Structure 1
Amino acid sequence: MKNIIINIVLTLGLSLSWQTLAAEPDPRQKLSELALSSERSAEHIARNQYRHPAETLNFFGLKPDMAVLEVWPGRGWYTEILAPYLKEQGHFTIAQFRQDDGTLKGERAKFWARLSAKLSERILENEAFFGTVHEVELDPPYLQPALATAQFDMVLSFRNAHIWDESGHLSATLQTLYDLIKPGGVLGLVEHRAAPLSDTTSVAVEGYLDEAYVIAAAEQVGFQLAARSEINANLLDSKDHPKGVYTLPPTLALGNYDRETYLAIGESDRMTLKFIKPAD
């Protein structure tokens, strides 16, 4: 009789354990659900086919309890996935464009400042969805205010490196990000990829960067390349467009000229690189 009671107790315990495991949401599945969230616009969801957010973030190794920095989120395309994913267990910070304090020069900088202001306003208005999102500014290569070193498990940058390179700040900005990451932490980087001519050279029209060049720049400041992925590759992108990457969607810089052609190509071919800051 005693053995029967013990077996019943063990059976019930195992059953409850399996029920508990089944009830726990799969973090990987949660990213897929957030990518299709009703909080996202139809336009943003339509870009999932080119940007593969759930697959990309899983490739980088994102976990819900991480401290994460997203660099230059723009309109918040990734922010609206990352913020709700991290809000319960993690810590999320965005490095916005420099705000317009009256000293900005150039229409592009002013446009970026407006994007950042709109995103900040949206986050405040939808706190229940976004949770607590900490904000700083990145005016390459410097952060304002400066952040303590080695505080992030992961730093994410989507299609920003070409802008830092254009201004001559790629190496220094990568150094800034390196210093912010904990030993053993990850830099996840997605960037428009130039057309290779050989193993050592490429043709980089406006907005594109050579993959080997980006890897070398990251390794020069101390990162180690952990993995690369073709998740965001686009073989239809010839990379020789009149206005470079901006010819393609979502910018469509040529307006209605050959619009259907460029829509059929889709967004640019992109490298997806996972770097590690050495643990020692």
Structure 2
Amino acid sequence: MQRRTLLGLVALPTLGACAGRPPRDPDAAPADAQGARLAAVIAGPQRSAANRARDAARHPYETLRFFGVAPGQTVIEIAPGGGWYTEILAPYLRGNGRLYAAHYPADAADPGRRQSRERFAAKLAAEPAVYGEVRLGTQPVDARGFVDIAPEGGADRVLTFRNVHNWLQDGHLDASLRAFHAVLKPGGVLGVEEHRAPPGTPLERMMATGYVTEALVVERAQAAGFKWAGRSEVNANPRDSHDHPDGVWSLPPTLRGGAVDRDRFLAIGESDRMTLKFVRP
């Protein structure tokens, strides 16, 4: 059973220079070689047209730069789903770095989760020139932590995109955060992107709508041993009222309501999201 938290009492640290920045001008040249490499990968042919179409809403360049992802690092992508970010991370780190994709267990009890992993594994196998160096493992789901991901010396980055609400609903958010802390090197970074609820939203509503407060994420991450290191507003969406009949799933890309208010939800766009960075001291 989920414990209640006094979310309104959690104070967020003062932001410094590492806070949010305006979206990148797509016509502007990146300021350094890493940025140029990342921009080239994002524009690369390995990405599906459907995924590239969402760049204006998901801001992969700005998000990965804020998290400090760079060639030479060991990166763990948690719950990669269909591989939206994997299409970028795998070629970006290929030949100079290491990407672990921590998916659902291959023997997950839920058939949908098993099939999701199977589809992801098939995606990797189908394009070895892009994904041949990706190591497919399992995300932690209980107190055991990672069972098949053990980078020598630890990981430089652990990244999760729009998954916190699932772990909150499934009851293993705290255990997962502790596992992320344990697998990171000292000084390693946990990057979190998640649908953002208004301050003071009750826990029950977070679990029902998929929107989570920043205060809860900061509180739970700090309890797991992390130090809060900054926020970016690159994935903010001021058009999102956070109040929809099917929660975050009313909005694109899910559009769970079908034709009902479809044009209105398309006009809102994808959800308002927090983008937070934590460090293992």
Q: For residues 163 and 76 of structure 2, what CA distance do their matches in structure 1 show? A: 14
Q: Paired residue for 2:87?
A: 80
Q: Of the candidates 42, 45, 55, which is equivalent to residue 48 of structure 1? A: 55
For residues 100-139 of structure 1, the aligned pairs below 5 Å read: 101=107, 104=109, 109-139=110-140
Gaps of 5+ in 2: 1-31
Root-mean-square deviation (CA, aligned residues, Å) is: 2.0
1:271 counterpart = 2:274: yes
Deviation at 1:122, TM superposition (A): 1.5
Q: Paired residue for 1:209?
A: 212
Q: Paired residue for 2:141?
A: 140
Q: Paired residue for 1:224?
A: 227
CA contact (8 A) 1:195 1:238 kept: no
Q: Paired residue for 1:255?
A: 258
The superposition leaves residues 17-64 of structure 1 with CA deviations (integer Å, 9 ceiling, x where unpaired) of xxxxxxxx8111222222222221111011111110011000011110
Runs of 4+ in 1 over 4 A off after TM superposition: 200-203
Q: Of the candidates 237, 240, 245, which is equivalent to residue 240 of structure 2? A: 237
Counterpart AA for 1:51: R
Q: Paired residue for 2:46?
A: 39
Change (3 A) 1:268 1:134: same
Counterpart AA for 1:98: P
Deviation at 1:268, TM superposition (A): 0.5
Q: For residues 248 and 202 of structure 1, what CA distance do their matches in structure 2 show? A: 20
Q: For residues 146 and 231 of structure 1, what CA distance do their matches in structure 2 show? A: 30
Gaps of 5+ in 1: 1-24
CA contact (8 A) 2:75 2:100 kept: yes
Q: For residues 149 and 34 of structure 1, what CA distance do their matches in structure 2 show? A: 27
Counterpart AA for 2:119: K
Deviation at 1:197, TM superposition (A): 4.6
Q: For residues 84 and 111 of structure 2, what CA distance do their matches in structure 1 show? A: 20
Deviation at 1:76, TM superposition (A): 0.2
Q: Paired residue for 2:105?
A: 98
Q: Of the candidates 59, 71, 78, which is equivalent to residue 64 of structure 1? A: 71
Matched pairs, number: 247
CA contact (8 A) 1:247 1:254 kept: yes
Q: Which has the higher contact order (CA 8 A, sep 6+)?
A: 2
Structure 2 counterpart SS, 1:117:
helix
Q: For residues 77 and 162 of structure 2, what CA distance do their matches in structure 1 show? A: 12
1:155 counterpart = 2:162: no
Structure 1 counterpart SS, 2:146:
strand
The superposition leaves residues 178-224 of structure 1 with CA deviations (integer Å, 9 ceiling, x where unpaired) of 000000000001000002259x9996351111101100100011100
Counterpart AA for 2:172: H
Q: For residues 75 and 156 of structure 1, what CA distance do their matches in structure 2 show? A: 15
Q: For residues 114 and 171 of structure 2, what CA distance do their matches in structure 1 show? A: 20
CA contact (8 A) 1:74 1:112 kept: no
Q: For residues 41 and 77 of structure 1, what CA distance do their matches in structure 2 show? A: 9
Q: For residues 59 and 184 of structure 1, what CA distance do their matches in structure 2 show? A: 15
CA contact (8 A) 1:194 1:203 kept: no
Q: For residues 47 and 101 of structure 2, what CA distance do their matches in structure 1 show? A: 18
Considering fraction of residues, name the structure with more helix: 1
Q: Paired residue for 1:10?
A: none
Deviation at 1:275, TM superposition (A): 0.5
Q: For residues 122 and 165 of structure 1, what CA distance do their matches in structure 2 show? A: 28
TM-score, normalised to structure 1, is: 0.83
Q: For residues 167 and 45 of structure 2, what CA distance do their matches in structure 1 show? A: 33
Change (3 A) 1:112 1:35: farther
Counterpart AA for 2:216: Y
The superposition leaves residues 166-185 of structure 1 with CA deviations (integer Å, 9 ceiling, x where unpaired) of 12211111001100000000
Q: Paired residue for 2:6?
A: none
